[in-house]
Amino acid sequence: MQKNILLCVSGGIAVYKAVALVSNLTKANFNVKVMMTESARQFVTPLSFQVMSKNDVYFDTFDEKDSSKIAHIDLADWADLILVAPATANVIGKLANGIADDMITTTLLAATCPVWLAPAMNVHMYDHPAVKRNIAQLAADGCSFIEPSEGFLACGYVGKGRLEEPEKITGIVVDFFHKEAKTK
Ligand SMILES: Cc1cc2nc3c(=O)[nH]c(=O)nc-3n(C[C@H](O)[C@H](O)[C@H](O)COP(=O)(O)O)c2cc1C
């Protein structure tokens, strides 16, 4: 059966890679819906994700299109997996502290499915004790991480902080559902 993936896109320079990730995931036969933060929409418009996912894109907690549902609860329930990619230092910090002040963080708190985060940021941000502390807290809370890779960063630095490649993330998701199917 087709699995549902909610891709939560927060506002880092790697947002462009998230468009390719949607393309990869849909080619791998996942049903993908995309949610964006306000900052993510500074980098790429929702239209790109709408076209790639062939689904509506969500970003406004208070835009309740269907009066029979509450969108963030409905999407949290719909998802078999929530993937936050790229995950900014900001979203990581908010989730680690139970803050729910936009549609992504609100949906994440309502989720009972597995939540995976793929951090992407400047190498010094990734090394910051506050970010490390928040990641450790989320790991203790049951979230999983797709670690950033090392390499040339958009900010000009070389180091750890690049969003893992869309093909690799897709492969990890495919493996996860294969293993899950075997255990059933
Ligand atoms: C050009 C540019 C690139 C940025 N890249 C990143 C990034 O890669 N990772 C990150 O955590 N924040 C990055 N930021 C900062 C975030 O956009 C900022 O912290 C924002 O508040 C995040 O909001 P969000 O988490 O709601 O999407 C960048 C900002 C700018 C202007």
pLDDT in tens, 18-76: 999 999 999 999 999 999 999 999 999 999 999 999 999 999 999 999 999 999 999 99
Active site residues: 155
Alpha carbon nearest to ligand 1 atom 11, residue: 88
d(CA 34, CA 6): 6
What is the residue-averaged pLDDT of the chain? 96
Q: Which atom of ligand 1 is nearest to the CA of 40?
A: 27
CB 83 within 8 A of CB 108: no
> Which residues have C-beta atoms less than 6 Å from ligand 1?
10-14, 37, 39-40, 88-91, 120-121, 125
Under CATH, which number does the domain 4-182 receive? 3.40.50.1950
pLDDT (0 to 100) of residue 151 = 83
How many CB atoms are closer than 10 A to CB 70? 15
pLDDT (0 to 100) of residue 45 = 97
How many percent of the chain have pLDDT more than 70?
Answer: 100
The pTM of this model reads: 0.97
- Cβ neighbors of 32 (< 8 A, separation 6 or more) are 4, 5, 6, 7, 22, 25, 26, 52, 53, 55
pLDDT (0 to 100) of residue 168 = 97
Average pLDDT of the residues in 87-92: 98
List of E strands, the chain: 4-9, 31-36, 57-58, 81-87, 115-119, 144-145, 149-152, 158-162
Q: Is the dihedral of CA 55, 61, 65, 71 positive or negative?
A: positive
Alpha carbon nearest to ligand 1 atom 28, residue: 12
Looking at the chain, how many residues does it have?
184
Residue 184 has pLDDT above 80, yes or no: no
CB 141 within 8 A of CB 135: no
Q: Which atom of ligand 1 is nearest to the CA of 89?
A: 11
How is the chain split into domains, by residue range? 4-182
